[in-house]
Amino acid sequence: MDLCQGDGAIILLAGEKTSSGVGRMLSRAIAVLMAGGLLPSWLWAQGLKLTGTWQVRGERWEFFKLPNADNDYNFLGSAIVASLSRQSELEKWHVEVAHVTFLGLPQNAAIPSLGALYRLFNREREGSLFLRQFFWQKRSDGNTWVRVGRFKFGDGTERLPQNETLLWLRQNRVQERLIGPFDFTLIGRSFDGIQLTTERPDGTFTLALLRPTRGIFDLRGGDQLTKVTTVYASWTFSPDPKTDARIFALYYRDSRKPPSVVKLDNRPLAVRQLDDEPISILTLGGHILRVLPDNKGQTDFLAWGAWQFGDWGQLKHRAFALSAEFGHQWEGKCRPWLRFGASLSTGDGNPNDAYHRTFFQILPSPNQNALPPIFNLMNSRILFAQLRLQPSRKVDLQLETHWVWLSRKADFWYSGAGAFNNSHFGFFGLRGGERQVLNMVGLTLNYRADPSTAWSLYLVRIWGKGVVRTNFAGNSATYAYLQATHQW
């Protein structure tokens, strides 16, 4: 494994090729499915419920070319999740175990392509079995409930709107921007902690104290990251049936230190290696969604913003991020929905002053409409246009294009998922030097074969611009995946 690091830029050439494990993966899957078929009737009689999901994804990468890098590759990922739960009117407990396997990972691919990241953090490991969720939940006689243990959590998932359009916007354009399970990698992450929620007619209050688990790119999922802590509070409300809104506060502290974990910012590496002060950041923000029906369909608006204050190790941290979107959906065949939007997140233009001004995305999930996850809301300016069609209840088609720039060319082109183990900061940075990063056009086709089975096909073509040419020899890339999900 070769890790090339120059003036803060990171290019990774990962590992050695994985041996075949198709037979082992299939035998494990069959065993789990057999158990799922034989046990439910007995468990049901005991008041228990056994459920499961099997997700299989084949990925094709033709990433930006780099000398001596194997950036043209395919691999297969599988995630089998089995859950056992018991629920009464006021109480619930839930246990969930996951088995994740990757086959055919590349020998030396360059980050931020996913094959390279999986190889870097797993070496020869092909799969793992780990505890994904284990929690107890209790509801009072009123509208307050508490959850304790290990569970999935995402900001913006509270009090989901009843309106179909608002619900789609919340789930696809708002939630998990700052805290999320990052399930796209199949490994994902969970959180150990406690969540308190009070539901009232005029709104929902949520308070959560959380520590993330190991995962995302690291197959050895499940260990708690004891030096990373998050406190989240929100008030989510609907002034009227056509509006959805939320205000939130999020505190994040990361006390991991060099040499195990080195902060990622645009200071020289030698300076960052000496910075052993913790990251302590308060984020204040909110969102508002609005739908306005007319005689031809409906128009929607979205606004989201977050402001950050605190300490970035030895530096003062000041940053913000904003997003604004609007669209119109017509009635009639295919229900065409055309949307446009822009996002801005601050970057740091001076590595030598006492301030860190790069917006920090904390522990996010990726934008499912802008895959692969090779850019994010850190030091970026993004424009997008999207067309969504629904030819039938079973078929959903989306065409989306993005134009991506850096906010500050003296800062990095960032990607990543936030803290996911105790040996890496969690985000990755490639040299800036220019403003324009890339343009991309993606096509998504989702097909719901039946209530238990879904298929997804995703294709994207990427044209690299100045920042890509600074880091790679080639300036074009293609990414595709075919995914099947079955629940029982």
Which CATH number belongs to the domain containing residue 268 in this structure? 2.40.160.100
Residue 371's pLDDT band (cuts 50, 70, 90):
confident
pLDDT of residue 47: 76
Give pLDDT tens digits for 242-299: 999 999 999 999 999 999 999 999 999 999 999 999 999 999 999 999 999 998 899 9
pLDDT of residue 19: 39
pLDDT of residue 46: 65
- For 112, the domain range is 2-487
| 210 pLDDT more than 70 | yes
pLDDT of residue 188: 97
Give pLDDT tens digits for 314-352: 999 999 999 999 999 999 889 999 999 999 999 999 999
Average pLDDT over residues 379-406: 97
Average predicted confidence (pLDDT) for the chain: 92
Please answer whether residues 179 and 155 qualify as being in contact, where contact means their C-beta atoms are separated by less than 8 angstroms.
yes
pLDDT of residue 43: 59
- Between 72 and 16, residue with greater pLDDT: 72
| 467 pLDDT more than 60 | yes
| 36 pLDDT more than 90 | no
Average pLDDT over residues 370-378: 93
For the chain, the three-class secondary structure string (H helix, E strand, C coil) is CEEEEECCEEEEECCCCCCCCHHHHHHHHHHHHHHHHHCHHHHHHCCCEEEEEEEEEEEEEECCCCCCCCCEEEEEEEEEEEEEEEECCCEEEEEEEEEEEEECCCCCCCCCCHHHHHHHHHCCCCEEEEEEEEEEEEECCCCEEEEEEEECCCCCCCCCCCCHHHHHHHHHHHCCCCECCCHHHCCCCCEEEEEEEEEECCEEEEEEEEEEECCCCCCCCCCECCCEEEEEEEEEECCCCCEEEEEEEEEEEECCCCCCCCCCCCCCHHHHCCCCCCEEEEEEEEEEEEEEEECCEEEEEEEEEEEEEEEECCEEEEEEEEEEEEEEEECCCCCCEEEEEEEEECCCCCCCCCEECCCCCCECCCCCCCCCCCCCCCCEEEEEEEEEEEEECCEEEEEEEEEEEECCCCCCEEEECCCCCCCCCCEEEECCCCCEEEEEEEEEEEEEEECCEEEEEEEEEEEECHHHHHHCCCCEEEEEEEEEEEEC
Give pLDDT tens digits for 395-436: 999 999 999 999 999 999 999 999 999 999 999 999 999 999
**What's the CA angle centered on 163, arms 159 and 169, to 5 degrees?**
75
pLDDT of residue 16: 38
pTM here is 0.91
Looking at the structure of the chain, the number of domains it has is 1
Average pLDDT over residues 447-458: 97
Give pLDDT tens digits for 151-205: 999 999 999 999 999 999 999 999 999 999 999 999 999 999 999 999 999 999 9
Residue 45's pLDDT band (cuts 50, 70, 90):
low
pLDDT of residue 447: 98
